[in-house]
Structure 1
Amino acid sequence: MSRAAVLWPLPALAACLLLPWLPVLPPFWITLANYIGIAAIVAIGLVVLTGVGGITSFGQASFLGFGAYTTAILTAQAGLSPWLTLPAALLVAALAALVIGAVTLRLSGHYLALGTIAWGVALYYTFANLDLFGRNDGISGIPPLRLFGVALVDGRAYCSVIWVGVVLAALATGNLLDSRAGRAIRALRGGALAAASFGVRTPQSRTLAFVYAAMLAAFAGWLYAHMQRSVNPTPFGINAGIQYLLMAVVGGAGQIPGAILGAGLVTVVNDLLQDWLPRILGAHGNFETIVFGAILVLALQTAPDGLWPLLARHRPRRRRIRYDAPSLPHRQMPPRGSPVLEVEGLRRAFGGLVAVNDVSFRLAAGEIVGLIGPNGAGKSTTFNLLTGVDRPTAGSVSFLGHRLVGLGAPAIARLGIARTFQHVKLVPSMSVIENVVIGAHLRGRAGPLRGLLRLDRAEEAQLHAEAARQLARVGLAEQADRPATSLALGQQRVVEIARALCLDPVLLLLDEPAAGLRHNEKAELAALLRRLRGEGVTILLVEHDMEFVMNLTDRLVVMDFGVKLAEGAPAAVRNDPAVIEAYLGSVA
């Protein structure tokens, strides 16, 4: 990370403390800045939840309400100091998010979005109809924040507090997304299956994103309550939740500065429309909602990724790799020739379709075995069954004495099985090296709290040094900082191999690794796989390039229509009449 990226909070904090006191800023602008700052904190949470994690939520205003009502009850009714209620507000929102998320996050797609609308509406009416929350009248008499004994009732003083909160929220969020836990969240969008295959527990990552966004919204609600000095249900309804989501989307949901930009634009434009439209139309009403909707649709059509990417052209960040970082520990490889994988009677049926039918084979340590067959033979399905992506209907799989059937993909990866995919699964929003580091997820230990506080730098240096070493190993060291999807398809497949090697696997499953590679690149890949075999790594590969397979593998297993057709040395399999018929037809 560059020095500027580390030091940016210092001038930002100084600006927060000084700018509100400039005499040229009228009180109205200060008030508007306060509302923008509170909205920006909520939108920053949506960067993690929606822009990065891909979880659309229309209900963030409800968590704002949890924070506001918690401090209102504890201060106005129980007499606690406002500063003591901040941890309570965050805790209440986190617990509420855990409960709501346990149900809502099981949904996907538009069902998930509809689910957030449902509980957003339900919580709004809960606030409006319970005596605990003061019903529709709300709770008044909330004391102001005090700092060094001085009540922060002046708008300029409170503006400094709010925007210091914005800087802290942006800093913490940036730290989180640049950590091991943050990469797991980032992998949810476009690469969840691959992430799970390298040990990322995707349900926990989704929950982390949900809870973190809820806690930021509760922090904003806490600030809002002590600015307004009273709360009622109106600011915490579904309309407000939709508006917060629009702020993140219009500004650029994947970027922290975009969330702040979106909060400012939506707040200012909304205020201007409320002021100007009645004068222009000569009537009062919610006309600003209609015009604002039209402006929003136009913005989304012209800038679907938000406005921030248009204002600040994204340039790949060059990460400083500490090559002197201590090496990660390596697995002890099993003795050459000892049993590694034993597959017995493997079967997978999808209703009446049997994709894999009673397949059995064995792999020994330090050998390369090819799993070949025509399209639709069941090869990739077999890979999915071996790695826990799918569960077999019958049969058993044993790896180094461990029974794999019933284990999930993360547990199987922890045992030392890594894989690539038939269709490349890289995270589009991440650079090459960031995608590769996901493969080393299980070799790190830092949790989200260490990431937030930036106490994980030594471990991160080790993980990135390992990723850089694997990229150099496959010949892509110069591409480390490029966006992953900017590479050619063949190079993307090689990136997947580097990611798999970051797991330090005992068994490497490669699904069509040579597809899209030129002749020289195939030769380099074959040389790499032979080196890995020499180091004791066992390799099972699916490949349609017969010349590549025949010159590389020690044995071949041939499948056709889900059934094992033949097994043996490449020369013997090449001349097997059943194999020739499966590939070329009975006439041949």
Structure 2
Amino acid sequence: MSRVVLLSVLVVLVVLGLSLPAYYLNVLNYVGLYGLVALGVVLLTGVAGVTSFGQAAFVGLGAYTTAVATIHFELSPWIGLLLAVGLSAAAAWFIGMITLRLSGHYLPLSTMAWGLSAYYLFGTIEMLGGHTGISGVPPISVGGFELTSQMAIFGLIWVALLLALVLSANLLESRIGRAMRSIKTARQTAESFGIDTSKLRLVIFVYASILAALSGWLYAHMLRFVNPSPFDLPASIEYLFMVVVGGASSLWGAVIGAAALTGLQEFLQGALPGIIGQAGQYETIVFGLLIIVLLQFNGERGVSGWLFKQVQPKSYALQTQDGELPRRARDAARADGGPLLRLRGIGKSFGGLRALKAVSFDVGQKEIVSIIGPNGAGKSTLFNCITGVLRPDEGELFLRDKEISTQNVRKFVQKGVARTFQHVKLVSGMSVLENTMLGAHIRVAGGTISAALHLERDQEKQLRAEAMKQLKRVGLDNVQHMDAASLSLGQQRLIEIARALCADPEILLLDEPAAGLRQLEKQKLASLLQDLREDGLSILLVEHDMGFVMGLSNRIVVINYGEKLVEGDPANVRTDPRVIQAYLGTAA
């Protein structure tokens, strides 16, 4: 996060705190409280792609926890904060373990269910005061000074919000953050490079609940009163409105959306009844129309997307740093020259369809092996079995004599198997450099807390240096700052290869790497693959282009109707009658 922006916001807040009347400070206090919750929703929705209608329940849980702790047990509000955050995190972990397994519309429906349950629970438990609520919540005390004035609580709320923004920005700009940003649009890619996306979704869910609980704690001690009404389903919907208005893809969008909707609500509640001639919640209609307009013209970017589009430069240079990632511990080359990868009797069925039938072949060290065959021959199914996306129904897969066919897809890259995809799978919104750095995710360690506190700087230097090394290898180091989605198809395929090389693999698996490329691009790709082979890398590729594989491969495996038809060197495969018949037909 830019220090200039942060300092500018701090100066503005100090000026406002010292000059605004109590009424406007109160409005800004609510903007800060809502902004904390909306920040969590940005991470959930904009980053992880999880639509939650239950965030207000975590606000309520934080507020009621501190109210009970300080009133019934006479504990300090700061102890109440620890209890509120701890209880909300535990509840989010338990709920997330159950609900985040769901997909499609079932996930947001489940968040509605537990959000409504929490609201009615708050209103029925006698200790919580029912729908009447709890009064007499003590104020927060700092160094013996009670924060009872609007100015004092204003300072605490906005310090908390700015701190949350800094921590969230640090998190998203880290190795863990890149993994998080890959979840929404490229989950299969993330899993293929060793990232546990289910765990990361749960981490984001818990983090968002902590921000909501912090907001609830501040709310309870600001008003010194708690009742269930601010924590119902419509409140959760309003938080989503804020994020859509501000921009689901921007951290600052949470603050902008909270400010826009809170200010607009204050204005419309006073102005609309006078215009229409009768009281009513007409501001809800205006909010609905506003959402429709924003979605039509600016999608997820919201107001913040429009603002930042105006002020941000079109391109920027990323500084590279010296650093060296530890390389994979490799076994010494086998004295007998045995194969690196062995397939033995691989079979796969989908219901009554037998997609693969006892396919067996080897990939040797420093060897390029190509799999070819007509459309529907089973090449993609075989490739997915080799990369762990599918588990074979029968047969075994060995990497240096270690059986890996039963491993989770995330384990394959840890064993030394890296891949590209038939249809390019880059993370939208990330630069070329960031997409490439994702490939080296498993080569370093580091958790969420260290990332949020920005303690992983040395790792980031190493990851950036490795990514730049591989981008230079494929000839794309001069476009490292550009949005990966803006490049040509050929360049995007090279990014995928660079990303796979960042994993430091022993064998590289390429799924139709020449598809959609022009002839010159194919020649450059073939030259790159030959150089990688000379550097000691084994390569297995699936391809349709006979001319491309004939001049590149050491051996070719021909698949037809799920069975291995022919295996041999390019010269023999080219003239084999069975291959000619499978590709061209007997008449031809």
Following superposition, the deviation at residue 291 of structure 1 comes to 2.7
Contact between 2:324 and 2:466, CA under 8 Å: does it hold in 1?
no
Letter in 1 for 2:234: N
The residue aligned with 2:486 is 486
Letter in 1 for 2:482: R
State the distance in 2 between where 1:492 and 1:548 align. Answer: 19
The alignment status of 1:207 with 2:205, answered yes or no, reads: no
Residue among 59, 63, 81 paired with 2:58? 63
The alignment status of 1:440 with 2:440, answered yes or no, reads: yes
Q: TM-score of the superposition, structure 1-length normalised? A: 0.96
The residue aligned with 1:19 is 16
State the distance in 1 between where 2:118 and 2:491 align. Answer: 49
The residue aligned with 1:469 is 469
The residue aligned with 1:449 is 449
Following superposition, the deviation at residue 285 of structure 1 comes to 2.2
State the distance in 2 between where 1:502 and 1:46 align. Answer: 32
How many residues of Structure 1 are paired with residues of Structure 2 in the alignment?
583
Residue among 304, 307, 312 paired with 1:311? 307
Contact between 1:344 and 1:397, CA under 8 Å: does it hold in 2?
yes
The residue aligned with 2:323 is 325
The alignment status of 1:413 with 2:409, answered yes or no, reads: no
The residue aligned with 2:2 is 5
Q: Secondary structure at the match of 2:131?
A: helix
Following superposition, the deviation at residue 10 of structure 1 comes to 3.9
Q: TM-score of the superposition, structure 2-length normalised? A: 0.96
The residue correspondences of 1:186-201 to structure 2 (distance < 5 A) are 186-201=181-196
Contact between 2:345 and 2:358, CA under 8 Å: does it hold in 1?
yes
Letter in 2 for 1:355: A
Following superposition, the deviation at residue 317 of structure 1 comes to 6.5
Following superposition, the deviation at residue 85 of structure 1 comes to 2.1
The residue aligned with 1:245 is 240
The residue aligned with 2:503 is 503
The alignment status of 1:42 with 2:37, answered yes or no, reads: yes
State the distance in 1 between where 2:52 and 2:264 align. Answer: 23
State the distance in 2 between where 1:316 and 1:425 align. Answer: 24
Q: Which segments of 5 or more consecutive residues in structure 1 lack a partner in the other structure?
A: none
Letter in 1 for 2:264: V
Contact between 1:342 and 1:363, CA under 8 Å: does it hold in 2?
yes
Contact between 2:137 and 2:224, CA under 8 Å: does it hold in 1?
yes
State the distance in 2 between where 1:372 and 1:51 align. Answer: 40
State the distance in 2 between where 1:65 and 1:502 align. Answer: 45
CA deviations over 1:384-414 (Å, ceiling 9, x no partner): 1112111112111111222222211111111
State the distance in 1 between where 2:4 and 2:325 align. Answer: 28
The residue aligned with 2:91 is 96
Contact between 1:179 and 1:448, CA under 8 Å: does it hold in 2?
no
Following superposition, the deviation at residue 353 of structure 1 comes to 1.5
Contact between 2:318 and 2:481, CA under 8 Å: does it hold in 1?
no
State the distance in 1 between where 2:159 and 2:245 align. Answer: 23
The alignment status of 1:359 with 2:355, answered yes or no, reads: no
CA deviations over 1:268-300 (Å, ceiling 9, x no partner): 112222111221222222222223222322222
Q: Secondary structure at the match of 2:565?
A: strand
The residue aligned with 1:424 is 424
State the distance in 2 between where 1:156 and 1:141 align. Answer: 20
State the distance in 2 between where 1:519 and 1:443 align. Answer: 35
Q: Which segments of 5 or more consecutive residues in structure 2 lack a partner in the other structure?
A: none
Contact between 2:54 and 2:114, CA under 8 Å: does it hold in 1?
yes
Residue among 248, 269, 272 paired with 2:267? 272
State the distance in 2 between where 1:546 and 1:315 align. Answer: 45
Cα distance change of structure 1 residues 6 and 503 upon mapping to structure 2, 3 Å threshold? farther
Residue among 309, 332, 335 paired with 2:333? 335
Following superposition, the deviation at residue 510 of structure 1 comes to 0.3
CA deviations over 1:531-578 (Å, ceiling 9, x no partner): 221222111001122111111110000111211111011110111111
The residue correspondences of 1:527-538 to structure 2 (distance < 5 A) are 527-538=527-538
CA deviations over 1:242-275 (Å, ceiling 9, x no partner): 1001111111101011111111111111222211
Contact between 1:138 and 1:232, CA under 8 Å: does it hold in 2?
yes
Following superposition, the deviation at residue 467 of structure 1 comes to 0.6
State the distance in 2 between where 1:197 and 1:551 align. Answer: 29
State the distance in 2 between where 1:466 and 1:328 align. Answer: 10
State the distance in 2 between where 1:65 and 1:512 align. Answer: 52
The residue aligned with 1:116 is 111
User: Equivalent pairs: percent with the same residue?
Assistant: 49
